Structure 1
Amino acid sequence: MPIITKITTQKNSPDRYNIYLDEKFAFGVDEEVLIRYHLAKGKELSEFDITQIQYEDEIRKALNAAINFLSYRMRSEEEIRQHLKKKEWEDPVIQAVLLTLVDRNYVDDLEFAAAYVRTQVNGGKKGPLNIRQELRQKGIKDSFIEQSMDEYSSEKQIEHAIQLGDKIARQNNNLSETFLKQKIEQFLLTKGFPFNIISIAIDEIDYEKDDDDEWNALQIQGEKAHRRYKKFTGFEYKQKMKQALYRKGFAIELIERYLNDNE
């Protein structure tokens, strides 16, 4: 069997060592592996020993990569798995790393999910459906997702939906009241708020217009429609204008008034 004839520290990695067998370089190992296998000058190693040591060293290198990945923020098990796969480690090595991380409490998918929800709630820009979907994409199992969603109360969801809805209302005050309400509802749906939350929030969102506001909004939309249809005349022009403004949510009597005023 080959014998360890020399052990040297690697220049760029002081916690890794070069192992020489029968005066020839054989492989490198992490300090933890070196200690665990009692590697020292004069020790004999079988082929099985070498294979096992190299396998354990792969796990150690992957573990160090995972810990470095975790140093920036919390990660789910699936995020770590995908990160290590991109680094081209084999599945058995990755699984061994994950078991070690869980055993050391470096990874906890339930705590990760709860912290993720808290962060999103503090941001106030997403509804619960979107947050659930993002957690699924991060590999969190459904039971953990449901537990973590306790961090996002219905009261908070309503509060956030109102804040987002009010912002959309302020940014789109040139729309009709009907069209603006639809836009707010659609926006909140895309943000992941459920219908029951939207229906409660919409009653509190300041989207309703008085007569003057609605008339001003109609004039703005009417000018835009006129630029599109000014090449038409007579009945055809009026019909196209009516259809365009009606699709924008304005009442037909208000449209008639606008067209009569601008005849």
Structure 2
Amino acid sequence: MKSLITIESLTKKGKTKYTVKTSEDSVTVSEDDVVKYRILKGATFTEEEWESIKKGVTKANAWDKVLNFLSYQERSKKEIRDYLQKLKVVDAEIEEIIIRLESLDFINDERFAYNLVNSYKKSNKGPNFIGEKLKQKGISETVILKALNNYSPVEEKEAISQIIKKMQLVKNSYPVKKQKQLIYEKLLRDGFSMELVMEALSKTDFDSNHHERLHRDFKKIIEKEDNKAKIITKLMQKGYEYSEIKSLLDDLST
């Protein structure tokens, strides 16, 4: 005769969960599970029935958790798969859940990519940056290219122009050469085309109010260094012009 699993107790756990203690184990179930499987104190199930119930409960729990995961923001298929793997959901059930989510239009990688492009565009990020983010989210190359078609060269140039203007305001105390270097590096980090960045910088007028910074840097260096060639090299690496460095050194000698 097959042994039976007996429900010994149900204990409320939170608003909608119960801890079910049986003669063999303990599991957490939802109110819906209690009703669906008639999990009542004193009820008995065969081992096969109880294992089947636990599998159903596990799948339902995974579904509830993935819906909660989606409630915060849109997710890619890869993000869903990674999340379910962390929950230790078996691969076959993961694929079932993903298929169900797609059939309900809860996830859609094309829509996800399109929305992510628009979101990062508003944050003044370039196409290369966005493309890399989409790759990290598991979006296919074909879908990435299609989504990035919504980011025109005109929009990219406008974003570059806005960033240059903002950075000029905060980097004005640097020499022009250093300003250009800092802006160039930021724009590349933000994923903009090198060609468009260089074109924009070449067409931008720069001014500088760096003399106070030059004197400050000069003073710091000469406190530690008395070799003129090394002083010149260090200051030129900071973007200062040879002529203005030479002028300070000449003043120092007089």
Specify the alignment match of 2:120 in structure 1: 120
User: Could you tell me how far 1:156 is from its partner in structure 2?
Assistant: 1.5
Specify the alignment match of 1:94 in structure 2: 94
Specify the alignment match of 1:71 in structure 2: 71
Compute the TM-score of the two structures, normalised by the length of structure 1: 0.76
The answer on whether the counterparts of 2:4 and 2:47 sit within 8 Å (CA) in structure 1 is no
SS of the equivalent of 1:151 reads: coil
User: Could you tell me how far 1:10 is from its partner in structure 2?
Assistant: 7.3
Specify the alignment match of 2:84 in structure 1: 84
Equivalent in 203, 219, 227 of residue 226 of structure 1 = 219
The answer on whether the counterparts of 1:78 and 1:139 sit within 8 Å (CA) in structure 2 is yes
Specify the alignment match of 1:103 in structure 2: 103
Deviation per residue, 1:146-198 (Å, 9 max, x gap): 11112222111111122222222222222221222112111111111121221
Q: What amino acid is aligned across from residue 82 of structure 1 in structure 2?
A: D
CA distance in 2, matches of 1:194, 1:261: 44
How many residue pairs get matched?
252
CA distance in 1, matches of 2:225, 2:68: 67
Q: What amino acid is aligned across from residue 223 of structure 1 in structure 2?
A: R
1:45-60 map, 5 Å: 48-60=48-60
User: Could you tell me how far 1:227 is from its partner in structure 2?
Assistant: 2.3
Q: What amino acid is aligned across from residue 250 of structure 1 in structure 2?
A: Y
Q: What amino acid is aligned across from residue 224 of structure 1 in structure 2?
A: D
Deviation per residue, 1:2-28 (Å, 9 max, x gap): 89999x99745787789999x999977
User: Could you tell me how far 1:64 is from its partner in structure 2?
Assistant: 0.9
Deviation per residue, 1:77-126 (Å, 9 max, x gap): 121222222223222222221111111111111111111111111122x2
CA distance in 2, matches of 1:103, 1:10: 36
Q: What amino acid is aligned across from residue 113 of structure 2 in structure 1?
A: A
CA distance in 2, matches of 1:232, 1:138: 50
Q: What amino acid is aligned across from residue 146 of structure 1 in structure 2?
A: L
Task: Select between 243-252 and 103-112 the one with higher mean Cα deviation.
Answer: 243-252
The answer on whether the counterparts of 1:2 and 1:46 sit within 8 Å (CA) in structure 2 is yes
The answer on whether the counterparts of 2:156 and 2:192 sit within 8 Å (CA) in structure 1 is yes
1:31-46 map, 5 Å: none
Tell me: CA distance 1:63–1:10, structure 2 relative to 1, closer, same or farther (3 Å).
Answer: farther
The answer on whether the counterparts of 1:226 and 1:241 sit within 8 Å (CA) in structure 2 is no
Specify the alignment match of 1:185 in structure 2: 184
Q: What amino acid is aligned across from residue 122 of structure 2 in structure 1?
A: N
CA distance in 1, matches of 2:115, 2:86: 25
Task: Select between 197-206 and 58-67 the one with higher mean Cα deviation.
Answer: 197-206
Q: What amino acid is aligned across from residue 199 of structure 2 in structure 1?
A: I
Q: Does 1:249 align with 2:249?
A: no
The answer on whether the counterparts of 1:62 and 1:93 sit within 8 Å (CA) in structure 2 is no
Q: What amino acid is aligned across from residue 256 of structure 1 in structure 2?
A: K
SS of the equivalent of 2:239 reads: coil
CA distance in 1, matches of 2:151, 2:78: 23
The answer on whether the counterparts of 2:117 and 2:147 sit within 8 Å (CA) in structure 1 is yes
CA distance in 2, matches of 1:86, 1:75: 15
Identity of aligned residues (%): 26
The answer on whether the counterparts of 2:221 and 2:231 sit within 8 Å (CA) in structure 1 is no
Tell me: CA distance 1:232–1:100, structure 2 relative to 1, closer, same or farther (3 Å).
Answer: closer
Q: Does 1:165 align with 2:164?
A: yes
Compute the TM-score of the two structures, normalised by the length of structure 2: 0.79
CA distance in 1, matches of 2:36, 2:202: 67
The answer on whether the counterparts of 1:229 and 1:240 sit within 8 Å (CA) in structure 2 is no
Specify the alignment match of 1:260 in structure 2: 250
The gaps in structure 1 that reach 5 residues or longer are none
SS of the equivalent of 1:192 reads: coil
Alignment RMSD (CA, Å) = 3.7
Q: What amino acid is aligned across from residue 99 of structure 1 in structure 2?
A: I
